[in-house]
Structure 1
Amino acid sequence: MKKLVSLVVAVAAMLGASCAHAQSYSLKQSIEYALQNRINLKMARNQQQIDKAQVGEIRATGLPQISAVFEAGDNFIQQQSFLPAEFFQDPDNPNSPEPGTFVPVTFTPIYTGNVIVSGSQLLFDGSYLIGLKAAKTYTELARKDLIQNEIDVAEQVSKAYYSVLVNRERLELLNQNLLRLDTLLWQTDVMFKNGVAEKLDVDRLRVSLNNLKVEKQKTERLLVLSEDLLKFQMGLNQKEPVYLTDELAEVEVEVAKTNTANFDYANRIEYSVLETQHSLAELNLRNINSGYLPKLYLNGRYGYNAASNEFNGMTRTRNWLEYGYVGAQLQVPIFDGLRKSYQAQQAKLTLNNTKLGFESLKQSIDLQLSQASADLTSSLEVLASQRENMELAEEIARVAKIKFQEGVGTNLEVVTAETDLRGAQTNYYSAMYDALIAKVNLDKATGTLLTK
């Protein structure tokens, strides 16, 4: 007896230590953890920062562009130019070149250098102004895409969390059944030894107990798998233990949620994403049309040039000649082979497709709402029926046990009642899981699954 007590204390201590190291999560905390730690969401947030940087990159093209260049070099083969021979005619020189020919002359010095500071400022470009608006809208699209990914993660975590709760509850109920059936087997064995029951009665109960143990082992493995799936959906290390604080009895599945009469399409992130895509399509069309407008730039240059046939001459200030330039450049598009016209045609059709997309999305959302509402209603009806069946099966098993113990019932009735009870319990928790999944699907369909 002392050994048994010591063993129980040791097991309790081990369980206490395990729970002490395990992280505790409610469903809300599980979703919050997943939103911060899922790899795909981290990548989406990085992409959002990339999009913001791209907006800055586009904005930078409208700011002053300034650069400086210093160059010095050795013209080791000096470039020559041809001049007409008439420039070199000398009546007193018999070696003068003949008229009609050309004489190579070197104008380039051996060493040259220049220092240039140049700058330009965009004064007007219709595409630039529209590009800024499009960049901001694209950033908004990236933000909404991130929200859509977060909603998908919340859905995955919720379903995995409910799976753990249901399997945990099933396992607890199986343990209670095992304890009850084990007690009944012990009592029947005592009755057999006293000549009140038959060996067949004992064997039947032992078979039923063995089957229940096998079912418990399967449920334990299923519970481990469901916990692993939850850790994966949360972005939690598979080696870390996890403890769920929510109870299945606390989860509310409201029948009122099946009424979707007051649904607003704007609640769905997909609708909001399509609105942003429509804005981008409009801006793209405006950007193409702005290509017909002229572009105006302000340019300027300031620098020094130097030349010498001796390298030391490059260091003398008097050999550096100052120059400067400032001016405006106007670029006027005249004809591009109808390229922008064809681009505008494509942009108009794309814009029309986004408009048609609203109707298609509304029809899809209506179907999702109808299916999700019907699934939840049906699941709740099945759940109520299975709950009643389980309660009846529990009562039948209780009465069959009492009748057998009092000698007015058979052992076969007890085994049959226990088997029916296990089936009713399995059906009940299966219906419970279906109802919870239907609840998540309806929350997502109505756009209320993840609210911040």
Structure 2
Amino acid sequence: MKKFKKVSGSMAGWLLMVLLTALPAWAQEQAFTLRQAIDYALQNRVSLKVLRNQEQIDKAKVGEIRAAGLPQINAGVDINHNYIPQKSKVDFGATGVGGELNDFTITRDQINGNGDIVLKPTYTIPEGMSGPQILTFQQPWSGSAVVSGSQLLFDGSYLIGLKAAATYTELSRKNTQQGEIEVAEQVSKAYYGVLVASEQIQLLDQNLTRLDTLLRQTSIMNQNGFVEKLDVDRLRVSLNNLKIDRDKAQRLLELSEQLLKFQMGLPQEHSIVLADQLNESALANTESKINTNGFTYANRIEYSILETQRELALLNQRNVKAGYMPKLILSGTYGYNSNEQSFSSLAKIRATESAGINRTWFDFGAVGVGLQIPIFDGLRKSYQVQQSRIELENVRLGFEQLQQSIDLQLRQSDATVANTLSVLRAQRQNLELAEEIARVSRIKYQEGVGSNLEVITAETDLRAAQTNYYSALYDALIAQVEADRATGALLVK
């Protein structure tokens, strides 16, 4: 019994080890560089999945358009019970038929004569058959089985539609690419936001540690009578304010991480770690990198999309004009039909000629070519051509507006980059000065030649300088992202 318990305990320990080993596969934190975060978002962002699904839908629509030019084949079987047969009114007397044929009489004079003997049939209409008669030519049961097919031989609109279909697919692909660029921009900004928030947390922790140490030292000095209690209270107030700032920063960090996970398409319950560090190395080649003279508008996806829209507008105009051209269609039909007194006779399929009078199903077939020539459509196509001309003019105006917008974005981003870098340099100098002033103030206070108020003021100025520096660094990084977006270099595959 003890041996069994020992084995069971071993098995439980082995299972626990397996579970603990497998747990990190889904529970461990994931570390992402900025590039990895963007790549993850490109694969998992829901909005991009929707765009890619739409791209597949558009490809299927192209196949739908192409299918119109392929053979169209249909088959059908109909069985009808004509419980009230169709009837027609027929006057056999008016046609000279339907009565009894009278006997022919040939006289001897006609036989002995030299001329031709002409026999003219005459009829006697029996009583009751004179005048119109109501008849039916339909049996109670009828059926048909038909296979029909058609093939488009020529249609100018169809040929242009094939070209437009390929262009439409290209437009769908570019829309997806535009969505990817927007996601890359959003992820980059959110990523830098988390880096700044994390760095601020670290700085606040360092300040808390330093200020807490100073508070304990001051408390000891107060107990020994070297400083006043007022100095201790001031440091304690400063420490409490710093803790409040630390709590705010922690909540801001959590919100920033949640935003980043949303932009990446990462579930909120997953933990995330950023592998990149916040520093100025990423800004080394940012200053004055925009050259508006050598910039090509085609680098912007918006411009490329507008080019595709212009091509579609031209094809649409050609498609409308092609509606004036004739259409040529080849068609064919083959099938069987039947007309019987009862369903049992209809169900007895005898379709060969050898069945003779007992044959129940009879085949038929036809092949033809149809030519449709448009003559007058109430000026519908003329109005459509007018609309297409206006659409092309709107596309041309769209190019003009987009170029003006891009020019403005380039100059704004260039100015923003220059301004943020200038502010960053100034804030870096301020931070270095604040650090030095705080260091000297602490030394002077510990040596007894400085005041407690001077230390608190220096620490407060240092925290403000740290906040301003990282805010300026964040602004410079965001300005770089927007500059890359303006030049079309944000997401180059």
**1:428 to 2:428 alignment:** no
Paired residue type of 2:202? E
**1:154 to 2:195 alignment:** no
Pick aligned residue for 1:337 from 358, 369, 378? 378
3-state SS of 2:84 partner: coil
1:236 alignment partner in structure 2: 266
2:405 alignment partner in structure 1: 364
3-state SS of 1:246 partner: coil
3-state SS of 1:319 partner: coil
1:168 alignment partner in structure 2: 198
Pick aligned residue for 1:221 from 239, 251, 257? 251
- Compute the displacement of 1:320 (Å): 2.0
2:73 alignment partner in structure 1: 66
Pick aligned residue for 2:214 from 184, 201, 206? 184
1:79 alignment partner in structure 2: 86
* 8 Å CA contact 1:38, 1:233 repeated in 2: yes
Structure 1, unmatched stretches of 5+, are 1-16
3-state SS of 2:59 partner: helix
**1:307 to 2:348 alignment:** no
TM-score normalised to the size of structure 1?
A: 0.93
- Compute the displacement of 1:187 (Å): 1.3
- Compute the displacement of 1:249 (Å): 1.9
- Compute the displacement of 1:310 (Å): 3.4
**1:133 to 2:174 alignment:** no
* Aligned pairs (5 A) from 1:191-206: 191-206=221-236
Supply the distance in 1 between the matched residues of 2:296 and 2:371 (Cα, whole angstroms): 50
Change (3 A) 1:405 1:59: same
2:315 alignment partner in structure 1: 283
Structure (1 or 2) with the larger CA radius of gyration: 2
Pick aligned residue for 1:407 from 448, 462, 481? 448
3-state SS of 1:69 partner: strand
Task: Tell which deviates more after alignment, 198-207 or 309-318.
Answer: 309-318
Deviations 1:112-164 (A, max 9, x none): 22221111100000000111111111110000000000111111100000000
Deviations 1:242-299 (A, max 9, x none): 0110000265112142444422111100000000000000000000000000000011
* 8 Å CA contact 1:19, 1:243 repeated in 2: no
Supply the distance in 2 between the matched residues of 1:277 and 1:300 (Cα, whole angstroms): 40
* 8 Å CA contact 2:290, 2:487 repeated in 1: no
2:302 alignment partner in structure 1: 270
**1:56 to 2:63 alignment:** yes
**1:246 to 2:301 alignment:** no
1:7 alignment partner in structure 2: none
How large is the RMSD of aligned CA atoms in angstroms?
1.8
2:361 alignment partner in structure 1: 320
Deviations 1:37-72 (A, max 9, x none): 111111111110011111111111100111112222
Paired residue type of 2:442? K
Supply the distance in 2 between the matched residues of 1:339 and 1:310 (Cα, whole angstroms): 53
* 8 Å CA contact 2:221, 2:227 repeated in 1: yes
Supply the distance in 2 between the matched residues of 1:310 and 1:261 (Cα, whole angstroms): 89
2:479 alignment partner in structure 1: 438
3-state SS of 2:336 partner: strand
- Compute the displacement of 1:20 (Å): 7.7
- Compute the displacement of 1:79 (Å): 1.0
Paired residue type of 2:305? V
**1:211 to 2:241 alignment:** yes
Task: Tell which deviates more after alignment, 333-342 or 368-377.
Answer: 368-377
Task: Tell which deviates more after alignment, 335-344 or 192-201.
Answer: 192-201
- Compute the displacement of 1:337 (Å): 0.5
- Compute the displacement of 1:102 (Å): 1.9
Supply the distance in 1 between the matched residues of 2:148 and 2:474 (Cα, whole angstroms): 71
Query: After TM superposition, what 4+ stretches of structure 1 lie above 6 angstroms from structure 2?
Result: 17-20, 90-94
- Compute the displacement of 1:191 (Å): 1.4
* 8 Å CA contact 2:99, 2:126 repeated in 1: no
Percent of paired sites with the same residue? 60
3-state SS of 1:62 partner: coil
Pick aligned residue for 2:132 from 99, 102, 105? 102
* 8 Å CA contact 1:259, 1:373 repeated in 2: no
3-state SS of 2:232 partner: helix
Paired residue type of 1:35? L
Supply the distance in 1 between the matched residues of 2:25 and 2:133 (Cα, whole angstroms): 99
TM-score normalised to the size of structure 2?
A: 0.85
